[in-house]
């Protein structure tokens, strides 16, 4: 069920008795701007820490515990040309609790808490509390730096920087940039906060044993005004480069991380979108895929070798963990797998298997309240609503020729290797 | 034959049966779910590297990492790979090895019967040759090296290694590049024949299923196979470190952005047998919640002093033959981190008495966590610890938690802490 609450504010309700919790998600969606990414990430971190009524993180944590361990968080993500600040909260449905004695249902208390977090943050003297602000800025700084301890993440980040040189919104992580972060003040993010409340598109969603009246009543007193939301494209389009960007770095790693990026200019609204999803699943997106089979199982060159496809940025990426001296062999095997699909050599057997696997994954997602909620953002951004039956029918119709046509649009754009310096990565 | 236990308030029912060959089957139907998750587990893991092979008289010490190696190789058959069989139906399959167990699993939204038969058949039909064993060494070697580059993993295993310096736990579950190089096809058969007897295994299935029908499928599959007679398994007890052998602290250098500190606490007390062991485990976990979770006064004090931050976490686990806690985090003040947390642990009785007003809160939180886990078919299945807690399920755990008193928590805390030994493992940039 989909409702327009105000201009630019929507509510999606997924009523079901399948779960023992009630899940809530609130997305604040803004155009992706390099200057705003870092401030929004910091704002999310500060809002998550405390509120006027719960002025320390302990006070807030105790309230969450009192609500039977309500799991609450605020995260940020990038999707195509959009930046999203996402609040999530999951509450136990009290009909499953022993001796529940509260006056008010946990769902209603949870919605009231989200209202506190969003509309009554800790603002002594009209600005964010200086101690909280400084501490959370420092925490975000160390969080961004610590991300690089994960070498697979680091290799991927460097690949994105290489691929999107000069395109900061895409090169930057959703958490932002440490240099920008250092210069942000409490006043800056107060501005970001007011901007978010006034102008972001707001998508609220609820999954669980809740009816329309109860869901609407729970957010009836949220002070959200009408807002004009631009219906601009969520897709990030970029032009193909003449030659492949190549990069490598030496770092104290035992295993080299070799990552590749390709352009695959098929977006979510493209008639070939489903074929692109199937292509990715066959190429490297599943354990049945060509990359897993040929790089790992046949050549024993890697423990992981996989691909991912983003229909919002038109990119395909490949990740592998290998011995540095095998880089050329691995690149050759990957290139050969792509070339084979481009020549139409995908087997009917593999096609049928990856289609079955995609159907399985789609149905399995229905069993996860979180995935039911997060999956809604795609529809909200693209305005493409595809009921399960229609989706299934589309998937069933994909042929080897469809996948071949998609594969022929895949062009290598960047290659990056993070290695321990053994024989270099020439 | 099919035992049924109903949990009315939760609207859940657990079905249990033990087949004539000894295989324990546990099923939890989940109304409205699309997915079915099945996991077949042997009570055999990385710790069990010295035992009397079935049919022999003398104990044999096997190379480290053999249980994990066997897990990898079980998928490969003479003319096919079991992964591909699951793939035909779109099911996703996987496997993992722990200290005391090895598990094989799949999730599917269709063809449950066919997928169950694939699972039973590939786990019960080993095929190891020198050639296939050698081929796997490259893949597992890369897996080991992947973990070499993972500071969180290094911090965890560094801590465990110091808590269990003489036990097999101090070796990575996957072994080392050198130890796996010595593994032979015959070794794998010896381990397989000893530990993969149905009487040493369980099969847990949760999700969309009909218990009677599903059990009939499993029984028919098992009745068509011949198994060796059920014999007791003789594991050679591993060498045991004494409390005095635990190294108090050690430091290692790695490329990380900030220091990582991991405090380990090894219990030298005896975990009660059966369900009481689960009760003990729940009580000690709740003790750590009271002392260290984000509702505690300690947490806010240390957070505001920049000793801990959002990376801080802790965990208590009980396994066959080992129970330990880990408190870990990234910090710019590693010495203070270790000293402050150690001081809280040393002062636990007084700290717990002071935190008593928060007992109901942390209990509510733990209840919510378990109820949330019951939403997930994997959450239900993975919480089953088989023989360790006498077949207790996540629903039993919830009941235990709801009934737990503060005095019981204090008693368990005293048992654990009084005889525990601590290590501090620090990774510096």
Cα–Cα dist A28/A193, whole Å: 11
How confident is residue A195, by pLDDT bands cut at 50, 70 and 90? very high
- The per-residue pLDDT for A234 is 95
- Chain A positions touching B108 (Cβ under 8 A) are 360
B71 catalytic? Reply is: yes
pLDDT at residue B128 greater than cutoff 90: yes
Question: Token pair of B366, please?
Answer: 């733990």
- Chain B positions touching A146 (Cβ under 8 A) are 256-258, 311, 330
Partner-chain residue, chosen from B35, B149, B365, that has the shortest CB–CB distance to A151: B149
Catalytically annotated residue among B12, B71, B76, B167: B71
- Chain A positions touching B31 (Cβ under 8 A) are 18
- Chain A positions touching B145 (Cβ under 8 A) are 254-255, 321
List the 152-191 stretch of B: residues with Cβ below 8 A of A.
Answer: 152
Question: Token pair of A223, please?
Answer: 């002070």
pLDDT at residue A423 greater than cutoff 50: no
pLDDT at residue A296 greater than cutoff 50: yes
Cα–Cα dist B250/B179, whole Å: 25
Nearest Cα of chain B lies from the Cα of A228 at a distance, in angstroms, of 36
User: What are the two backbone dihedrals, phi and then psi, of residue A327, each rounded to the nearest 5 degrees?
Assistant: -55, -45
Cα–Cα dist A102/A109, whole Å: 10
Partner-chain residue, chosen from B35, B88, B303, that has the shortest CB–CB distance to A363: B35
- The per-residue pLDDT for A265 is 97
- The per-residue pLDDT for A419 is 93
How many CA atoms lie less than 13 Å away from B77 in the CB half-sphere?
14
pLDDT of B283-340, one tens digit each?
999 999 999 999 999 999 999 999 999 899 999 999 999 999 999 999 999 999 999 9
Nearest Cα of chain A lies from the Cα of B356 at a distance, in angstroms, of 14
pLDDT of A71-124, one tens digit each?
999 999 999 999 999 999 999 999 999 888 888 999 999 999 999 999 999 999
Tell me the CA distances in angstroms from A103 to A108, A209, A302, A323, B179, one per residue in order.
10, 18, 57, 61, 61
Nearest Cα of chain B lies from the Cα of A39 at a distance, in angstroms, of 19
Query: Is B402 at the interface with chain A, CB within 8 A?
Result: yes
Query: Is B82 at the interface with chain A, CB within 8 A?
Result: no
B81 in Cβ contact with B185 (< 8 Å): no
Cα–Cα dist A351/A355, whole Å: 6
Is the ipTM higher than 0.95? The answer is: no
Q: A106: nearest CA in chain B?
A: B368
Q: Measuring CA to CA, which residue among B120, B135, B146 is closest to residue B227?
A: B120
How confident is residue B140, by pLDDT bands cut at 50, 70 and 90? confident
Cα–Cα dist B330/B151, whole Å: 11
Size of interface A-B (CB pairs under 8 A): 184
B192 in Cβ contact with B55 (< 8 Å): no
Query: Is B362 at the interface with chain A, CB within 8 A?
Result: yes
Question: Token pair of A254, please?
Answer: 């035992």
Tell me the CA distances in angstroms from A90 to A118, B207, B289, one per residue in order.
16, 21, 20
pLDDT of A62-86, one tens digit each?
999 999 999 999 999 999 999 999 9
- DSSP element (H, E) containing B424: strand B421-428
Query: Is B335 at the interface with chain A, CB within 8 A?
Result: no
Partner-chain residue, chosen from A57, A146, A255, that has the shortest CB–CB distance to B258: A146
Partner-chain residue, chosen from B254, B311, B364, that has the shortest CB–CB distance to A66: B364
**For testing contact with chain A, the best of B69, B137, B146, B328 (most A CBs within 10 A):** B146
For strands B24-29 and B249-253, give the pairing: unpaired
How confident is residue B111, by pLDDT bands cut at 50, 70 and 90? very high
**For testing contact with chain B, the best of A56, A101, A249, A255 (most B CBs within 10 A):** A255
Partner-chain residue, chosen from A252, A359, A368, that has the shortest CB–CB distance to B90: A359
Look over chain A and give the mean of its residue pLDDT values, rounded to a whole number.
94
B14 in Cβ contact with B393 (< 8 Å): yes
pLDDT at residue B277 greater than cutoff 90: yes
Q: B151: nearest CA in chain A?
A: A149
- The per-residue pLDDT for A424 is 40
Q: Measuring CA to CA, which residue among A82, A127, A411, A107 is closest to residue A266?
A: A411
User: What are the two backbone dihedrals, phi and then psi, of residue B46, each rounded to the nearest 5 degrees?
Assistant: -60, -25
Average pLDDT over residues A215-239: 93
Q: A141: nearest CA in chain B?
A: B257
Average pLDDT over residues B36-57: 96
Q: Measuring CA to CA, which residue among A250, A302, A334, A422 is closest to residue B145?
A: A302
Nearest Cα of chain B lies from the Cα of A379 at a distance, in angstroms, of 22
pLDDT at residue A425 greater than cutoff 50: no
Cα–Cα dist A230/A63, whole Å: 37
For strands A201-208 and A9-15, give the pairing: parallel
- The per-residue pLDDT for A422 is 53
């Amino acid at each position: 069920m989909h409702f327009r609450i105000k201009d630019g504010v929507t509510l999606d309700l997924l009523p079901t008795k399948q779960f023992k919790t009630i899940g809530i998600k609130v997305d604040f969606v803004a155009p992706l701007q390099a200057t705003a990414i870092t401030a929004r990430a910091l704002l999310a971190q500060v809002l998550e820490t405390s509120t006027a009524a719960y002025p320390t993180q302990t006070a807030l944590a105790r309230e969450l515990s009192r609500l039977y361990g309500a799991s609450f968080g605020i995260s940020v993500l990038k999707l195509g040309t959009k930046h999203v600040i996402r609040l999530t909260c999951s509450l136990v449905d009290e009909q499953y609790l022993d001796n529940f004695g509260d006056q008010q249902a946990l769902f209603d208390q949870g919605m009231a808490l989200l209202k506190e977090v969003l509309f009554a943050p800790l603002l002594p003297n009209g600005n964010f509390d200086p101690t909280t602000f400084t501490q959370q800025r420092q925490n975000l700084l160390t969080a961004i730096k610590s991300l690089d301890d994960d070498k697979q993440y680091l290799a991927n980040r460097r690949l994105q920087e290489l691929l999107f040189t000069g395109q900061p919104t895409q090169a930057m992580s959703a958490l932002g940039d440490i240099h920008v972060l250092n210069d942000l003040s409490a006043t800056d993010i107060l501005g970001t906060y007011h901007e978010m409340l006034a102008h972001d598109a707001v998508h609220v969603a609820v999954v669980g044993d809740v009816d329309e009246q109860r869901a609407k009543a729970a957010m009836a007193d949220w002070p959200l005004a009408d807002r004009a939301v631009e219906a601009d494209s969520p897709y990030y389009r970029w032009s193909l480069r003449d030659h492949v960007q190549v990069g490598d770095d030496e770092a104290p790693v035992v295993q080299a991380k070799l990552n590749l990026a390709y352009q695959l200019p098929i977006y979510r609204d493209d008639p070939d979108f489903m074929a692109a999803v199937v292509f990715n699943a066959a190429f490297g997106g599943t354990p049945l895929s060509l990359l897993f089979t040929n790089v790992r199982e046949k050549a024993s060159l890697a423990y992981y070798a996989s691909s991912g496809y983003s229909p919002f940025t038109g990119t395909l990426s490949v990740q592998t963990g290998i011995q540095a001296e095998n880089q050329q062999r691995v690149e050759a095997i990957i290139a050969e797998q792509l070339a084979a699909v481009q020549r139409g050599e995908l087997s009917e057997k593999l096609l049928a298997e990856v289609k079955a696997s995609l159907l399985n994954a789609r149905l399995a997602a229905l069993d996860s309240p979180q995935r039911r909620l997060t999956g809604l953002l795609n529809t909200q951004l693209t305005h493409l609503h595809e009921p399960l039956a229609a989706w299934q029918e589309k998937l069933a119709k994909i042929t080897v020729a469809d996948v071949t046509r998609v594969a022929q649009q895949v062009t290598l754009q960047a290659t990056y290797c993070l290695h321990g310096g053994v024989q270099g990565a020439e | 034959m099919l035992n049924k236990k109903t949990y009315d308030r939760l609207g859940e029912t657990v079905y249990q049966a033990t087949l004539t060959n000894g295989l324990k089957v546990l099923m939890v139907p989940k109304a409205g779910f699309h997915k079915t998750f099945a996991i077949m587990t042997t009570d055999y893991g990385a710790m069990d590297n010295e035992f009397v092979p079935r049919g022999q008289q003398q104990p044999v010490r096997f190379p480290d990492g053999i249980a994990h190696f066997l897990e990898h190789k079980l998928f490969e058959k003479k003319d096919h790979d079991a992964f591909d069989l699951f793939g035909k139906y779109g099911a996703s399959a996987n496997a993992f090895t722990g200290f005391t167990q090895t598990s094989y699993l799949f999730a599917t939204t269709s063809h449950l019967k066919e997928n169950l038969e694939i699972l039973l058949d590939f786990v019960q039909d080993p095929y190891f040759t020198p050639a296939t064993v050698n081929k796997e060494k490259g893949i597992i070697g890369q897996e080991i090296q992947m973990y070499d580059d993972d500071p969180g993993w290094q911090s965890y295993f560094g801590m465990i290694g110091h808590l269990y310096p003489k036990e097999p736990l101090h070796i990575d579950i996957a072994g080392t590049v050198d130890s796996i190089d010595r593994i032979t096809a015959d070794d794998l058969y010896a381990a397989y024949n000893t530990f993969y007897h149905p009487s040493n295994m369980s099969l847990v299935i949760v999700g969309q299923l009909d218990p009677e029908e599903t059990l009939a499928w499993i029984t028919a599959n098992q009745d068509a196979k011949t198994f060796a007679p059920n014999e007791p398994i003789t594991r050679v007890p591993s060498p045991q470190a004494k409390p005095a052998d635990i190294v108090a602290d050690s430091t290692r250098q790695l490329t990380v952005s900030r220091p990582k500190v991991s405090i380990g606490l090894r219990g030298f007390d005896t975990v009660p047998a059966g369900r009481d062991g689960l009760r003990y485990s729940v009580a000690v976990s709740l003790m750590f919640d009271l002392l260290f979770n984000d509702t505690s006064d300690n947490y806010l004090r240390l957070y505001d002093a920049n000793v801990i931050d959002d990376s801080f976490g802790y965990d208590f686990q009980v396994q066959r033959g080992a129970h330990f806690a880990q408190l870990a985090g990234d910090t710019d003040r590693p010495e203070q981190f270790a000293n402050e947390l150690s001081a809280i642990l040393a002062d636990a009785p007084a700290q717990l008495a002071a935190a008593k007003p928060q007992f109901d809160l942390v209990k509510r939180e733990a209840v919510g966590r378990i109820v949330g886990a019951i939403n997930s078919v994997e959450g239900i299945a993975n919480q089953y610890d088989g023989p360790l807690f006498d077949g207790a399920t996540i629903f039993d755990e919830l009941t235990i938690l709801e009934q737990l008193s503060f005095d019981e928590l204090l008693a368990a805390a005293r048992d654990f802490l009084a005889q525990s030994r601590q290590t501090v493992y620090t990774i510096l940039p």
